[in-house]
Amino acid sequence: MRCSLVLLVSCLTWTTALLTAPTELKYLLDPPVYAEVIGRRGENATLPCILKTKPVHYKVKWTKLEPGRIGPENIVMISNAQASKRHGKLGPRASLRRAHNMDASMQLSDLQLQDGGTYRCELINDIEDESVVVTLRIEGVVFPYQSRNGRYKLTFGEAKTACEEQDGVLASYNQLYRAWTEGLDWCNAGWLQDGSVQYPIITPRPACGAEPHPGIRNYGPKDKNRDRFDAFCFTSLTTGSVFYIPGSFSFEQADQACGRQGADLALVGQLYSAWRFRNYDRCDGGWLRDGSVRFPIGTPRVRCGGLPGAGVHSFGFPQKSSHLYGAYCYKQVLKSE
């Protein structure tokens, strides 16, 4: 390659860039055969990282990548050919698979809702560091949640707490997007995990904004401490079971009815989980622990309110003493049972 004197600097820079540009990885297999791993809460998952060849001295570092994280990176574990050291909250549930002597894959046990995200497997070998990334997707369901005080009453922190109290976490944008592709159409805006406020629309209509096309509507930056909206929560498979007790109960009587069965009134997230993962379909309104009355429908039919879509439908938050419904209960199943 020939360079004129005038373009010497830029030409040398470009030539250097060509020489140092990333090429095919020498040590790691890229991309992984399974660049996305799907798991459910309580289950185990293996994030693949396979070596093609081994350097003489090396370490493998697994890190969970969290954009916007303040402070040190979220290291899960660091290992070499002989031993490994686990770090942080994920560390106790992490281990190397070691299916063969070229296997640096990481296993995570007892998956939690917060485990979903992007992970990096990095081979550290002096200046020849290499890495691949793998996405762990927790299979679950997104559900909108509103305060018992009405629409748009939750700050970001209150929305986060509300989801956690209902056996969930604030949904990520990717989780909301996937729910939208699967049919979630909701006209009320809610907080997401990243602090944004958005809502999914499949059938555009005047009451849901002026946009003529379906999509995820974004309210833009909002003040987490002052602005108030609803919440989009995310939950996954539960180890327990949801069941219905028919009757005409006040809220207190419904709670007592569940207690006599060795159970508690179900949380909203637990009912959504039963609907999504157990195909739970019941046409009767029943109390839940937050004081709301809901019912899960898998197959819409006229006698179940005539509602057109499958889902968990809500009667809101009736007066606890004067309104009478059945009870949706949740009984935890221990792993040893």
| 76: nearest Cα among 89, 57, 59 | 89
Report whether 270 contacts 240 (CB < 8 A). yes
Question: In DSSP terms, which residues pair with 280 in a beta bridge?
Answer: none
Domain 140-236 matches domain 241-331 at the CATH topology level: yes
- DSSP H or E stretch at residue 169: strand 169-170
pLDDT at 88 over 70: yes
- Written as six digits, the tokens of 66 are 């969290």
Question: In DSSP terms, which residues pair with 119 in a beta bridge?
Answer: 64, 134
CATH architecture of 241-331: Roll (3.10)
pLDDT at 97 over 60: yes
283 Cβ partners below 8 Å, 6+ apart? 295, 297, 301, 303, 304
Question: In DSSP terms, which residues pair with 17 in a beta bridge?
Answer: none
At 145-161, the pLDDT tens digits run 999 999 999 999 999 99
Higher pLDDT, 69 or 164: 164
What does pTM read for this prediction? 0.85
Question: In DSSP terms, which residues pair with 145 in a beta bridge?
Answer: 231
How is residue 154 annotated by DSSP? Answer: B
CATH of domain 140-236: 3.10.100.10
Cα–Cα dist 299/284, whole Å: 14
pLDDT at 178 over 90: yes
Radius of gyration of the chain (CA): 25
pLDDT at 274 over 90: yes
- Chain centroid offset of residue 33 CA: 23
Report whether 167 contacts 330 (CB < 8 A). no
Burial call 13-44: b when 16+ CB within 10 Å, e when fewer: eeeeeeeeeeeebebbebebeeeebebbbeee
Domain ranges of the chain: 24-138, 140-236, 241-331
Amino acid making up residue 21: A
Domain at 24-138, CATH homologous superfamily = Immunoglobulins (2.60.40.10)
Report, as an integer, the average pLDDT of 169-182.
96
What's the pLDDT at 57?
Answer: 85
At 13-71, the pLDDT tens digits run 333 333 333 457 888 887 676 789 999 999 999 999 999 888 888 899 999 998 767 77
Cα–Cα dist 199/11, whole Å: 49
